[in-house]
């Protein structure tokens, strides 16, 4: 979750955006065979091409739905909760998409380009070439490696994954048409091969998903009892910021935080001191804060 220039990766998605059905196939495959992604019959088991098998493994690992285990993979507690029988294995709940988006954009180690775009790239309107140039500059300054072709692959894959094809009016690409992340409409195509990724109220974002992100930030920084709202609104480049990741305006972020705190008043409090808003982790949350999975269990085990 914390950006480390010594631990980065680009282009490991094999140029494939996440598709509908992939997480379900990968999860069910893992439950039957921990080595399914390395199995010679993986293409038959999962019903996809060889490179797509690697892409499924990558996305599941990046979203922390599966983790390496004795040369193979195993579902994580988060994976079982989201994709198990009591979860949302077919991604029918929009809350799941928002959550998966956070899991991608808050993972600088496995998805550095995606972390950079949603946390550090600030232009609301842009072209693909502008994103690539900015990413190249960031990598040159911060990481000092990576071929331009790999960075271009990351930018192209991200825009295809998040930009709705139907709205663009392009000849439909199977990769982008089947990407569930485009339903969040966080990247909008505009005339002249431009894109828009602006900040707003995000009325469809459930407050508990924002709360999950906040709980994860507290869990990753147990020494902190409070997080300034300004740090949640815009990233410092080191830690992911839910406001930036979810493209929330200041008004939208405060509204979601208030709703979340009202629902979890025994664990969190939102206070303003000397004009500075902060969200506090209360002692009842424990030494390391409320386990983020508890927030998800209360949603997925009751819907």
pLDDT at 166: 44
Pairing state between β 66-69 and 72-75: antiparallel
Q: Identify the sign of the CA torsion 185, 191, 194, 200.
A: negative
pLDDT at 303: 55
Higher pLDDT, 273 or 128: 128
Q: Give tens-digit pLDDT for 163-185.
A: 987 444 444 444 445 699 999 99
Q: Give tens-digit pLDDT for 253-273.
A: 999 999 999 999 999 999 998
Is 21-90 a domain of CATH 1.10.10.10? yes
Buried b (16+ CB within 10 A) or exposed e, 264-281: beebbebeeeeeebbbbb
- Separation between Cα atoms, residue 215 and residue 224, nearest integer Å: 12
For the chain, strand residue ranges (E) read 66-69, 72-75, 125-127, 188-190, 194-196, 226-228, 268-273, 276-281
Q: Give tens-digit pLDDT for 27-70.
A: 999 999 999 999 999 999 999 999 999 999 999 999 999 999 98
- DSSP label at 172? P
CA angle (146 as vertex; 56, 131 as ends), nearest 5: 80
Nearest to 101 by CA among 84, 117, 122, 87: 117
Residue ranges of the chain assigned to CATH 1.10.10.10: 21-90
Q: What is the pTM of this model?
A: 0.94
Q: Give tens-digit pLDDT for 190-209.
A: 999 999 999 999 999 999 99
| Direct distance between the N- and C-terminal alpha carbons of the chain, in angstroms, rounded to an integer | 29
Contacts of 258 (CB under 8 A, 6+ apart): 270
Tell whether the model's pLDDT for residue 21 goes beyond 90: yes
Instruction: Give the three-state DSSP class for 260.
Output: helix
- CB–CB of 40/178 below 8 Å? no
Tell whether the model's pLDDT for residue 110 goes beyond 70: yes
- Separation between Cα atoms, residue 98 and residue 248, nearest integer Å: 13
pLDDT at 167: 42
Which tokens is 104 given? 């991608």
Higher pLDDT, 122 or 209: 209
Q: Say what the alpha-carbon torsion angle 138, 1, 233, 184 is, to the nearest 10 degrees.
A: 90
* Stretch 134-152: mean pLDDT: 88
CATH number of 207-300: 1.10.10
Tell whether the model's pLDDT for residue 211 goes beyond 50: yes
pLDDT at 77: 97
- Separation between Cα atoms, residue 229 and residue 79, nearest integer Å: 29
Phi, psi dihedral angles at 179 (to 5 degrees): -90, 115
């Amino acid at each position: 979750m914390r950006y480390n220039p010594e631990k980065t990766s680009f282009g490991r998605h094999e140029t494939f955006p996440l598709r509908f059905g992939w997480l379900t196939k990968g999860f069910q495959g893992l439950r039957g065979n921990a080595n399914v992604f390395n199995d010679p019959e993986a293409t038959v088991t999962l019903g996809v091409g060889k490179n797509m098998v690697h892409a499924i493994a990558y996305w599941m690992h990046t979203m922390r739905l599966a983790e390496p285990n004795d040369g193979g993979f195993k579902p994580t507690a988060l994976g079982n909760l989201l994709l198990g029988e009591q979860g949302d294995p077919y991604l029918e709940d929009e809350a799941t998409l928002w959550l998966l988006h956070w899991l991608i954009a808050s993972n600088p180690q496995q998805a550095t380009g995606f972390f950079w775009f949603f946390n550090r790239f600030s232009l609301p309107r842009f072209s693909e070439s502008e994103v690539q140039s900015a990413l190249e500059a960031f990598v040159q300054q911060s990481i000092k490696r990576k071929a331009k072709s790999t960075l271009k692959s990351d930018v192209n894959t991200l825009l295809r994954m998040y930009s709705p094809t139907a709205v663009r009016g392009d000849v439909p690409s199977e990769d982008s048409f089947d990407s569930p992340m485009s339903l969040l409409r966080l990247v909008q195509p505009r005339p002249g091969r431009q894109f828009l990724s602006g900040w707003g109220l995000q009325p469809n974002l459930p407050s508990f998903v924002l709360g999950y992100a906040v709980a994860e930030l507290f869990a990753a920084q147990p020494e902190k009892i409070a997080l300034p709202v300004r740090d949640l609104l815009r990233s410092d480049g080191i830690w992911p910021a839910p406001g930036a990741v979810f493209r929330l305006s200041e008004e939208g972020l405060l509204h979601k935080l208030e709703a979340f705190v009202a629902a979890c008043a025994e664990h969190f409090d939102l206070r303003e001191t000397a004009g500075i808003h902060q969200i506090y982790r209360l002692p009842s949350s424990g030494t390391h804060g409320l386990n983020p999975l508890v927030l998800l269990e209360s949603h997925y085990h009751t819907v």
